[in-house]
Chains A and B, each alone.
Chain A
């Protein structure tokens, strides 16, 4: 048993002493040690379900499968039904060659078993696989001030920044441990002090920047610190509308993957910035000015990982993180118009649009829009493009995307939305 200075309630003390079994003891020990690394003095109850990052049955995660078996054997489940990141594969909508299928069967051979384990430990339902669990259609939507223990960097930054909930950037498995205990250590972004901004980011661009380029620039500069972003309300207004939330979803995902941003405040827009304004800035906050030149430099720094830098794209991914219903409708319209302008009926590049299963189901309730998208040759799926691309065969393909997150982890090449659309329509 570990020795701890942390205050624990009687029930937790019993767990730590091993009186409720060795597995639960190891779970609590891990969470206590994790909290102690950050000076947490106590655990606080969670106000809502956790969101897990580990959705893939990849043999590399053998220690996780063993851990899950231990939970199941001991009847250990999460306190609230949880959501989880997207599945890696969808053979129906994202076709693969025989060789790719062979590779995927080896890579994700444990997928079915792992999903069964997730269900037994407390997965919400069959459709709970998305990195955008906070969409209305999916329903894992925390309220402002709710204390959570989420993983998935893009979901964490969204919950903190756009919804005003409170979660640290928990690693995979730690979030599940907290979900089992129904508690998280009190530190960092769970505290008022941890939510203050040591950075003022002054956006001075001439037009609204691409969200995933702006997020990338911010992430690379502030790394894990909290930025207070000024100047975006010139373009976005002061209402947190669906398109504005989508913009922040994209910006946050890039900031979290290109850096380690877990929370951002945007002046006149995000809930805490609306309430407290520049009062959120820490004393002696550093300033980072972002103009058009700075963003050009950031984009120029992205390495091209294709074997032939002038290759014709073979595959396009849109929706990392998963698209909202509004974005899906918008892309459908943009693709339709761009094809019409070119006098074409079908996209030249195989294009895959990704959204949560529940968002796809709602999109399908509008048969005209659904058919319009599929009619262009585009495919609609709920996979994680990042997981799909993480194998030696896909990594050799010339893949294009508007996701800086996908670019960071794979060989996919980043293009802003309009350039990407042209590529998908014309093939180059």
Chain B
């Protein structure tokens, strides 16, 4: 078990299973296929992301450095949240980027569903966390990886 401390961007207390990307996550490429099909769960469709491609993202604690790609990113995250297919939490090793920040804020203010978001968790966090670990996120931005 290891504990990390980050900055709560949207604070909350959740516990869930991790899915990890060591590279930037392209929100549009990752979520669009499942969202367009109105699937019951999002399976990552980004062919360029070897860490996430084909893995389930809905309800997971998504651990990543930051998001990349098209500026539809934030909007896609909001739309996915509206469908109830959003990740449980987003944990960033780096500072949150503008697309992800928009996505979680739009989800929070306009869909009234919070994706608990913590950033600045550091490189060590991303080096340590693996897929399928139980991760607990606390209000103050503390993250405990089982």
Contacts and interface: CB of A to CB of B under 8 A. Distances in A.
B71 A38 contact: no
Interface in B90-140: 95-99, 101-103, 105-106, 108-111
B68 A54 contact: no
Nearest to B26: A408
Contacts of B35: 60
B71 A171 contact: yes
A53 B71 contact: yes
B71 A390 contact: no
A173 B24 contact: no
B28 interface: yes
Interface residues on B, range: 35 or more
Contact of B74 (A38, A107, A172): A172
A362 B99 CA distance: 35
Contacts of B95: 38
A37 B105 contact: yes
Contact of B75 (A107, A168, A173, A188): A173
A224 interface: yes
Contact of A38 (B29, B66, B98): B98
Contacts of B86: none
B72 A171 contact: yes
Interface string A250-268: 0000001111100000000
A54 B75 contact: yes
Nearest to A304: B47
Given A37-B96, A153-B69, A390 B74 contact: no
B69 A257 contact: yes
Output the residue of B96, B98, B110 with the most chain A CB within 10 A: B98
Nearest to A35: B101
A156 B97 CA distance: 15
B67 interface: yes
B105 to A, nearest CB: 5
A170 B71 contact: yes
Interface string B9-49: 10000000000000010101100100111000000000110
B98 A171 contact: yes
Contact of A171 (B66, B102, B108, B111): B102
B68 A29 contact: no
Given A30-B109, A61-B79, A107-B36, A188 B72 contact: no
Interface of B: 9, 24, 26, 28-29, 32, 35-37, 47-48, 65-75, 78-79, 82-83, 95-99, 101-103, 105-106, 108-111
Given A188-B98, A409-B32, 6 more contacts: A61-B75, A169-B97, A257-B69, A260-B69, A390-B36, A408-B69
Give 5 nearest A-B pairs by CB, closest first: A171-B74, A171-B102, A172-B75, A151-B71, A260-B68
